[in-house]
Chain A
Amino acid sequence: MTHRIASNPIHWPQWVAALAIIAMVLAFTPRWAPAQEIIANSGLPKTAITRNEARLFFSMKLGIWPNGAPVQVYVLPDDHPLHREFCTRVLGLYPYQLRRVWDRQVFSGTGQSPVTISSEAELIERTAASPGAVSYAAKPPDNPGVRVLPVK
């Protein structure tokens, strides 16, 4: 190695630079998972949401919007990649933590669990069709029935 580097003094820094650039690109590029958006039924007057509110809604601890409308939460199955990414990236919770909170509430009579939907497309449709609905999507959906709620 020493001999090759010494014999090609011009090339090795280029390799290092190339590797460094690739490493930086990998480090700063979000992983393969798409960005997640919190979406809500467009009939709601709300235009943004805090992370705390989002956690309370998706953990089913708070079931009422500020305007008094009931919150209807739709989620994908626990092991769905989008659900996993949404939980950890947006809510800062692991999926098993959410499941633990839902189960504790459902089986002690102190709360309910969200409605589980099998596909993202249906998730968006149900959110558009249900007043007070809140859910998530991989990217802003092209559906006038839902609006994206930026996380403040």
Chain B
Amino acid sequence: MTQATAPCCDANPDPRTLRGCCIGLSVATCLLFSGATTAADSFWSTIQLHGFAAQSVIKTSDNRFFGDSPDTSFDSTEIGVNASVRLDPKVLVAGQVLARRAGDMYDGTPSLDYALTDIALIASPERILGIRLGRVKNPLGLYNETRDVPFTRPGIFLPQVIYYDKVRNIVLSSDGAAVYGSLYNDLGEFSVTLVGGWPVLDDNVQWTYLGGDFPGTLRPNGSVWTGSLWYATVTEQLRFGLSGALASLRYAPHQNDILGPGQTDIVYGIASLQYSARRFTLSAEYGLEPVRWRRYGPLLPRQKVTSEGYYLQGTYRIRSNLELMACYEEGVADSDDRDGSEFAGVTGGLVPAHAMFSKIATVGLRWDPTPNLMLRAQYQWNQGTLVLSQLENPDFPRQREYWTLLALQVAFRF
């Protein structure tokens, strides 16, 4: 089940940070030496530095969301700095460091968000084809690649039923390679991206996919594949995309572990649609995630459960720097048990039915007083607790089915 019951956790270091860094930097260094001789003049002028910093305040009526929100939480901070340089018109090297504090889920330790070398093999007005090597962001849905950048999101939080913050890393980025291509003609733009590599896994993944923090370790079982297909009309008024991820995790039990050496197979598919007009933008996404558990032993029997979620979102620009937002989203942990009653029955009420779904209505306001400063306010009505982190809310009886959320955010960019 995608729900958790165990009470404690401890942090493991992220072995992937170093690996991704090495890949990105070694590729960059090679290209730096090859590129410096040919493009020494324009090299320095192409360096760009960008970044952002955001702080949110969150107050919920009940349930913990990004910290002790029932008592007003300030535990949501996002800071990122990136640098990029064009070694050659066809070669871009870029990297970003991200520090993210998110309640009990993330403590703000800086991590390497991406570090890559992008090489365009074909670059013409009709077609573009290239590869990216290093740590690359996975192209899932409308927002995954920039999900931690407040300015690129339509609200303070992304729709949680598609972009779960309780489990991010399995889909966040990959250490590996990407191939991308685009075709441009009178019909518009057709794009494809395929990424293969290794994901990072942390306690949040273990809690979500095993239902607790067990003594063994959950590791990627081979590589993770993600990919996307996009079509956009000539002026990008309409964008339609299909994207997905395939991942497999293997559990290595500890001595005297109650779980066996099991395997969890995850498929994640998203269909995305976005319409952009002068004053308004409409976005809708639908996500499907069949997950299969095998060989974990009697405590976690062999099973297959499909999670599902969708949202509809509209933003309206009153002025170029003032925007209203409304969103409705629904997610279920098991598409065969949409109201959670079956699972509540199986667990004898230990897991309440409302932990198996979330229905959320959101209204929000965005104001950019200057191009570098953004202020946001957002209010949410929630039914169900599926989107809550079990790490933050380990005690099911204390979770309330109906709860509201008020969030304010200030964000700066350069």
Seen from chain A, the residues whose Cβ lies within 8 Å of a Cβ on chain B are 50, 52-53, 55-56, 61-64, 66, 68-71, 77-79, 84, 88, 91-97, 100-101, 103-104, 106-113
Q: Interface size for chain B: under 10, 10 to 19, 20 to 34, or 35 or more residues?
A: 35 or more
B19: interface (CB < 8 Å):
no
Which listed segment binds A: B42-50, B202-210, B379-387, B399-407?
B42-50
**Closest CB-CB distance, B223 to chain A, in whole Å?**
20
Q: Judge whether B100 is part of the interface by a CB distance below 8 angstroms.
A: no
Which residues of B sit under 8 angstroms from A94, Cβ to Cβ?
276, 278
User: Distance (Å) between the CB of A131 and the closest chain B CB?
Assistant: 8
With beta carbons under 8 angstroms apart, the residue of A91, A110, A112 that contacts B48 is: A112
Interface check B14, CB cutoff 8 A? no
Q: Give, as a whole number of angstroms, the nearest-CB distance from A126 to chain B.
A: 11
Residues of A within 8 A of B321 (CB): 79
Contacts of B146 in A (CB 8 A): 103-104, 107-108
Residues of B in contact with A (beta carbons under 8 Å apart): 42, 46, 48, 50, 52, 80, 82, 84, 86, 88-90, 92, 94-96, 114-116, 118, 120, 123-125, 128, 132, 136-137, 145-146, 149, 151-152, 182, 184, 234-236, 276, 278, 317, 320-321, 371
In the complex, chain B residues whose CB is within 8 Å of the CB of A64 = 89-90, 120, 123
Chain B contacts for A50, CB-based, 8 A: 125
A108 near B145 (CB under 8 angstroms)? yes
**Which residues of chain A are near B128, meaning CB under 8 Å?**
61-62
A-B contact pairs, 16 of them (CB 8 A): A61-B128, A61-B182, A62-B124, A64-B89, A64-B120, A66-B124, A79-B320, A79-B371, A91-B235, A97-B276, A106-B82, A108-B114, A109-B92, A109-B118, A110-B118, A113-B50
Indicate whether A70 sits within 8 Å of B96 (C-beta atoms), given known contacts A104-B152, A107-B80, A113-B48. Answer: no
Question: B123–A107 contact, CB under 8 A?
Answer: no
User: A47 to B194, alpha carbons, bound, how many Å?
Assistant: 37
- Whether A112 lies near B86 (C-beta < 8 A) is yes
Q: Which residues of A contact B236 (CB under 8 A)?
A: 93, 97, 101
In the complex, A77 Cα to B125 Cα: how many Å? 26
Please give, as numbers and ranges, the residues of chain B lying within 8 Å of A112 by CB-CB distance.
Answer: 46, 48, 84, 86, 92
| Contact among B80, B89, B132, B317 with A110 in the assembled complex (CB-CB below 8 Å) | B132
